[in-house]
Amino acid sequence: MESHHHNHLHRKRKPRNLKLHIPISPNPSNLLLFLISLFLLLCFIFLTRFPSGSQSFRPILTISRFHPLSIQDSSTGSLPPLKIEQQISFPDHVLLLVSKIHDPSLMNSYRIGLECVHRFVENPTRLVVLPVLSVEDYDGWRSIVRCPVSSNTNKKSPVFVALRRRGGSTGAEEEDRLFRHRESMHSWEELVYNGVIDGETAVVFVKGLNLRPDRASDAAQFKCHFGWSNNFNALTTSAVTAAQEIVRCSLPRSFRNLPEKADGVGITISTVAHHGKHHNNEGEGLVHYVPSVARLSNLSDKRRRRKNKKYELCVCTMLWNQASSLKEWIQYHAWLGVERWFIYDNNSDDGIKEVVEQLEQGNYNVSIHTWPWIKTQEAGFSHCALRAKSECKWVGFIDVDEFFYFPIPSAPNRKTSEFRVYPGRNSLQSLITNVSHSAAIGEIRTSCHSFGPSGLNKHPSQGVTLGYTCRLQSPERHKSIVLLDALDETLLTVVHHFHLKKEFTYMNLPESTALINHYKYQVWEKFRAKFFRRVATYVADWQENQNEGSKDRAPGLGTEAIEPPNWSHQFCEVWDTGLRDFLIANLADPSSGLLPWESHDSQ
């Protein structure tokens, strides 16, 4: 036993007898060799005592001041850390702006590897853990993580949300670490949510100002504040214009000289109360700073500029869960002459990005832009106008369920004959070319015919243009194509049209020249989804008991998503197969009879 023990100790002492035969002398080259050898020895000892596969060296979840979250489990491997920068509370989810995920291929790994942890101010010991809804890119500095809202949560109760790896610890120490440095929860109803550099001005998008729709407001009550790390006292300028959700301010002189310096700078808006008791000791109005998650973006640096000339005709739309209609809408309007599409995605979860990727592979010039801000369609269209300015001359602002239609022209002896267009390939672009000869026209307005379910109970597999063929007799509303150089600097829009500079006017197209088929009242399954959320800012949701006589509402529907009796036969006054017949005659494959948007799915 003693001999065995002695040998065992002897074996354990052997490393102490390890000698390094390194010549040491005042020679600098020998000294450098000694230092290198010592470094290699230390690396060897570290690796042998702490092998990468050992349990003692496994990375653990850590949350620092900015919530960096590293994830490692068997399904996701090791992912780079995330930092939660801002939290925004929406009616049906919480949006987290996190540090940029530079590799798009990791988006799904984060989604399946993360959980949302809710802690409530009124009851800090209560945690609600829910799976992440989605993870996607947002801007040049941040990505988005969406967390659900618990169904049994009191929506008025303040809540904070943190992220942890899936199946992580729920111990008290872990909870404290998660919420030790929580960020404030902003409300989507009062928030500066976006900013764009436009020449020598900053265009700021803000909710909560409650400015009157369809008119400019007094800009003197607003100022813009620029800064870093939520310290907005560095630079201040006065507002130039204010309208609805948009405030335009002068850029600070240092940014005007070097616009690239402003890219990524934080910005907010302040307002001054000049009435009542809201004054400070000097008698001045109290200043209110609107909470902000906005960073200025220099879109001119990010947009692809045309080498020779701008696109003649582009289209911008905002949508939510309309992926099933996107191919039909884009491929048909590409045939009419649209060259470029800007898709503003308003929180879709129906695979729209995959559809856009397929269209891009088919050489359709489509870009998708994450726009998470609900009830902001007007502001989103104004943002798109700024984004498209360096690429496009004219931009159409239409929805995915709206399709241009050129009926057979009537007798050519009308005053508008110079704008007459014959139906066929590139006919919409031909219209734009004809109108462009008049220097005073800055907007083209086209009447919309609203189509109903046309007796159907299921969504037509051939597409809306072939399936829905019965409509209301009289047109409702209009939609516009605008010359971007003609837009008023307020960027004021009411969805259907923009305000123009004084030297420009608009033109109403006669119905004999062009119409828009608006497939507004589709089968109940599709219409119920549309009923869920309206994207326009100043149009009441159907769930709200407001403006019940408005054309923006469905007549007789009420305020609940309950299918009315005989829905499939409502809104049917005139059978109209004009566009359907035209498509079959001109776009259908001669051998198979399939239209372009049917071909891919049928192979």
Of 358-372, 405-419, 519-533, 577-591, the range with the lowest mean pLDDT is 405-419
The answer to whether 369 touches 387, Cβ cutoff 8 Å, is yes
d(CA 233, CA 225): 6
Q: Is the pLDDT of residue 238 over 90?
A: yes
Across residues 349-363, what is the average pLDDT?
93
Alpha-carbon distance of 367 to 315, in angstroms, equals 11
Please give the sequence-ordered ranges of beta strands (E in DSSP) within 363-432, or none if there are none: 366-370, 392-397, 402-405
Rounded (10°) angle between helices 427-436 and 323-336: 60
Quickly count: other Cβ atoms within 10 Å of residue 408's Cβ: 9
The answer to whether residue 545 scores a pLDDT higher than 70 is no
- Mean of pLDDT values over 563-584: 93
pLDDT band at residue 309, thresholds of 50, 70 and 90? confident
Residue 420 pLDDT > 90: no
Q: Which tokens is 522 given?
A: 């589709």
Q: What six digits make up the tokens of 37?
A: 């050898």
Q: What is the pLDDT of residues 311-325, one digit of tens each?
A: 999 999 999 999 999
**Using CA atoms, how far apart are residues 37 and 454, in angstroms rounded to an integer?**
83
Beta-sheet strands, E only, within 378-469: 392-397, 402-405, 441-450
SS3 280: coil
In a 3-state reduction of DSSP, which class is residue 528? helix
Percentage of the chain with pLDDT > 90?
Answer: 52
175 and 187 Cβ atoms separated by less than 8 Å: no
Q: Look at residue 60 and tell me whether its pLDDT is greater than 60.
A: no
pLDDT of residue 338: 98
Per-residue confidence band for 1, with pLDDT thresholds at 50, 70 and 90: very low
Q: Which two tokens stand for residue 48?
A: 């042998």
Rounded to whole angstroms, how far apart are CA atoms 31 and 25?
A: 7
Write down the pLDDT at residue 14: 41
Higher per-residue pLDDT: 372 or 182: 372
Per the CB < 8 A criterion, the answer to whether 310 and 205 are in contact is no
pLDDT in tens, 426-440: 999 999 999 998 889
pLDDT exceeds cutoff 60 at 66 = no
Is the pLDDT higher at 284 or at 194?
194
**Three-state secondary structure call for residue 211:** coil
Q: What is the pLDDT of residues 244-283, one digit of tens each?
A: 999 999 999 989 888 888 899 999 999 986 544 444 445 4
> What are the E-state strand segments in 105-152?
114-120, 123-131, 134-137, 142-148
Segment among 140-154, 336-350, 565-579 with least mean pLDDT: 140-154
Give 174's pLDDT tier (boundaries 50, 70, 90).
low
Mean pLDDT of the 341-350 span: 93
Q: Are 289 and 232 in contact (CB under 8 A)?
A: yes
Amino acid identity at 275: H
pLDDT at 18 > cutoff 50: no
* Residue with token string 């998660």: 178
User: Do 332 and 465 touch, CB atoms closer than 8 A?
Assistant: yes
Whether the per-residue pLDDT at 9 is higher than 70: the answer is: no
Q: What values do phi and psi take at 575, rounded to 5?
A: -80, 125
Q: What confidence score (pLDDT) does residue 512 get?
A: 87
The pLDDT score that the predictor gives to residue 121 is 74
Q: What is the pLDDT of residues 92-121, one digit of tens each?
A: 899 999 999 999 889 999 999 999 988 887
444-461 pLDDT per residue, tens: 999 999 999 999 999 998
Of the listed ranges 11-15, 441-445, 584-588, the one predicted with least confidence: 11-15
3-state helix, strand, coil in the chain (%, to 5): 25, 30, 45
24-38: average pLDDT: 57
Residue 37: pLDDT over 70: no
Half-sphere exposure of 337 (CA within 13 A, CB side): 21
Phi, psi of 522 (to 5 degrees): -90, -170
Identify the helix (H) or strand (E) that includes residue 192. strand 191-198
**Does residue 332 have a pLDDT over 90?**
yes
